[in-house]
Amino acid sequence: MRNLLLAVSATFILTTSFYRDTREVSADNTIENPVPLSSESENSPVLNVDAAAELYKTINFGSGNKMNEEVFGKAFQGYSNLMKAGKLDNGAGILTVCDFSLSSTKKRLWVIDMNSKKVLFNELVAHGKNTGEEFATKFSNTESSLQSSMGFYITESTYNGSNGYSLKLIGMDKGYNDNAYKRAIVMHGADYISEEFIKAQNRIGRSWGCPAVARELAEPIINTIKGQNVLFIYYPDQTYLESSEWLKA
């Protein structure tokens, strides 16, 4: 019997040693046609896209503007990755998105409660003076550029400064907004963020690079998003979208 078992084992090893993975492999050693990852895999890009799409359907946008679904998907990807990386408190449930692909005359800032799946604020938000007129077109990470910086931020503490009640922001994208703290890029209120200003100038006023909001809304918005939550300034810059570590699946 022992000889029989040895013979069977030898036959199994011999036959399986000729098995070849028939999936195609590219020059950089990545599998071109991989077996689909299980639904429990945290690294599955399909899972992340599907999760964002399902969550988007459940968000109550109320009577405000509805955020572009693709923009939300990217914001959610970054929010999830920052959470996984331990950059946020476990209780961080607020996601703020500024869609700077839109006209400054549009309410392009959304504050979303990720737990209740409800938009808490949908308001006007300014871009930097040297970033553009009605539309944002130029971005910078350089001090004194007076330009906005795209990317993911973590909200920090509040203070009262020359612009009143303000919120410090920590830029998390190297080369894109990681100089934000040194540049004093913060959220604050401003009188030039108003419908009246739009009627007079066909745009809202512009900041020195800060995501400024209406003066009367600064305190309630800041108090909602402060304390290690995520703020995402979106712009469809392909180089950024392909290189940000927080947007990787």
pLDDT single digits (tens) 21-43: 333 333 333 323 333 322 333 44
209-230 per-position pLDDT tens digit: 999 999 999 999 999 999 999 9
**Cα distance between the two ends of the chain:** 53
pLDDT (tens place) for every residue of the chain, 249 residues total = 444 334 434 443 333 333 333 333 333 333 233 333 223 334 434 446 788 999 999 999 999 999 999 999 999 999 999 999 999 987 889 999 999 999 999 999 999 999 999 999 999 999 999 999 999 999 999 999 999 999 999 999 999 999 999 999 999 999 999 999 999 999 999 999 999 999 999 999 999 999 999 999 999 999 999 999 999 999 999 999 999 999 998
Both tokens assigned to 128: 């930097």
| Ordered DSSP codes for 107-160 | --EEEEETTTTEEEEEE----BTTT-SSS------STT------EEEEEEEEEE
CATH 2.40.440.10 applies to domain 44-247: yes
Instruction: List, in order, residues 6 or more apart from 126 with CB less than 8 Å away.
Output: 104, 190, 192, 193, 204, 205, 206, 207, 210, 211, 212, 213
What pLDDT is recorded for position 50? 84
Q: Are 197 and 205 in contact (CB under 8 A)?
A: yes
As a whole number of angstroms, the distance between CA 189 and CA 217 comes to 7
What's the pLDDT at 210? 98
